[in-house]
Amino acid sequence: MSKDKEIGWLYEELPGLVEKGIIPEETAVKLREHYGEPDRAHSRNLIFIISAILGSILIGLGIILLFAYNWDEYSRLTRTIITFIPLIAAEIIFGYAFFRKRDSVAWMESASGFLMLMVGAAIGLTGQIYNMGGTLSELLFTWLVLSLPLIYIANSVLTFSLYMILLIWWSFTTSDMAYRWIIADDYLTTNKLTFLVLILAAVPYLWRNIDRTRFTAKGNIIGWFFAVSALLSSVNFLNFNGGLSTLFYCTCMTTLLYASGKIFYNKGHALWQKPFQVGSLVLIYVIAIMCTFDWYWRDFAHYSWFFNFENIPHRSTHLTLYLLSFVFVGLTGRILYKQIKSNAPVNYFPFLLPVIIGTGIFISHIWADFLIAIILSNLFILSYSIYYIYSGIKLDKTSLVNAGMLFLSVLIAVRFISSDAGFLLKGIVFILIGCCFLAVNYVLMKKQKRNG
Going from N- to C-terminal start, the domains of the chain cover 1-39
pLDDT recorded at residue 378: 86
pLDDT confidence of 238, banded at 50, 70, 90?
Answer: low
The mean pLDDT value of the chain amounts to 76
pTM of the model: 0.73
Residues 155-170: tens digit of each pLDDT:
888 899 899 989 888 8
Q: What is the DSSP letter of 39?
A: P
State the alpha helices, DSSP H only, in 155-214.
157-180, 184-200, 203-209
What is the distance between the alpha carbons of residues 380 and 292, in angstroms, rounded to a whole number?
Answer: 10
Residue 264 burial by CB count (10 A; 0-12/13-18/19+): exposed, middle or buried? buried
Nearest to 227 by CA among 285, 286, 143, 167: 167
Q: Which of 19-28, 42-51, 196-205 comes out lowest in average pLDDT?
A: 42-51
Residue 187's pLDDT is 53
**What average pLDDT does the segment 111-140 reach?**
83
Nearest to 122 by CA among 347, 114, 358: 114
| Lowest mean pLDDT segment, chosen from 124-138, 263-277, 284-298, 420-434 | 420-434
Residue 307 has pLDDT above 90, yes or no: no
Bigger pLDDT: 393 vs 44:
393
Secondary structure (H, E, C), 334-391: HHHHHHHHCCCCCCCHHHHHHHHHHHHHHHHHHHCCCHHHHHHHHHHHHHHHHHHHHH
How far is Cα 149 from Cα 59, in angstroms, rounded to an integer? 23
In angstroms, what is the C-alpha Rg of the chain?
27
Confidence of residue 259 (pLDDT cuts 50, 70, 90): very high
Q: What is the mean pLDDT of residues 391-408?
A: 78
User: Which residues have CB under 8 Å from 198's CB, separation 6+?
Assistant: 144, 148, 167, 170
pLDDT at 45 over 60: no
Is residue 54 within 8 A of residue 100, CB to CB? The reply is no
Where residue 179 falls among pLDDT bands split at 50, 70, 90? very low
